[in-house]
Structure 1
């Protein structure tokens, strides 16, 4: 047996809000996903993003509780087409009312980098390689 990476799963408190957020980022969920207890979006390369409502998780794991202690629960990283797209996506999401954690900046490791939170406080890293210094 050889386990293989297949999906990224997030537990969400408001399915409609989470589906709307990830759709803004280009994730394709089926019509009506925002009304379901579980939603999936297929990612390039065959991976999937899985969203499960808190009540769904509690239906098979009654003792489950959201993580506590501050900070984001987890994060996913999204490669943008260029530094300008990092800025544009960040501004679009913050302008739509989502919480920006880290404004776009030119990171010392050679990327334009920013972080915004999804409706449950999970970090979504936006990044793109910076043009080579000339």
Structure 2
């Protein structure tokens, strides 16, 4: 057996409406649920990002990493939406271009793209 990709990441959120707005601002497309639901699912490529309403979620649980086709465009989209990434996109020694951002509940997200080999 070989694990090929992440199918879904589920995050606990305190405010579904705010969380949905955040992820929609970044370009995630709603699959199920929405701002008034207790459970929401967004498309994330061939995988899914799930949000589950919890009265007092813990923060700082870790990081979800999403590969995207253009890291700089996602970063620019976040800035245009008034969001605050932790830093501008950068190339890492492990071979990815990436940046991090936290949602309103403190979940850290990384948007990354493998660097092409030269």
TM-score class normalised by the smaller sequence:
0.7 to 0.9
Higher strand share: 2
Structure 2 unmatched runs, 5+: 1-5
CA root-mean-square deviation: 2.5
Q: Find the counterpart in structure 2 of residue 103 from structure 1.
A: 88
> What is the alpha-carbon distance in structure 2 between the residues aligned to residue 74 and residue 106 of structure 1?
21
Displacement after TM superposition at 1:108 (Å): 0.6
Among 30, 38, 61, which residue is 1:73 paired with? 61
Runs (4+) of structure 1 moved beyond 6 Å?
A: none
- Residue 117, structure 1, aligned to residue 102, structure 2: yes
Structure 1 unmatched runs, 5+: 56-64
Displacement after TM superposition at 1:29 (Å): 1.8
Equivalent pair of 2:26/2:77 in contact (CA under 8 Å): no
Q: Which has the larger radius of gyration?
A: 1
> What is the alpha-carbon distance in structure 2 between the residues aligned to residue 99 and residue 131 of structure 1?
27
Q: Find the counterpart in structure 2 of residue 60 from structure 1.
A: none
Q: Find the counterpart in structure 2 of residue 37 from structure 1.
A: 38
Give TM-score, length-normalised by structure 2.
Answer: 0.76
Give TM-score, length-normalised by structure 1.
Answer: 0.68
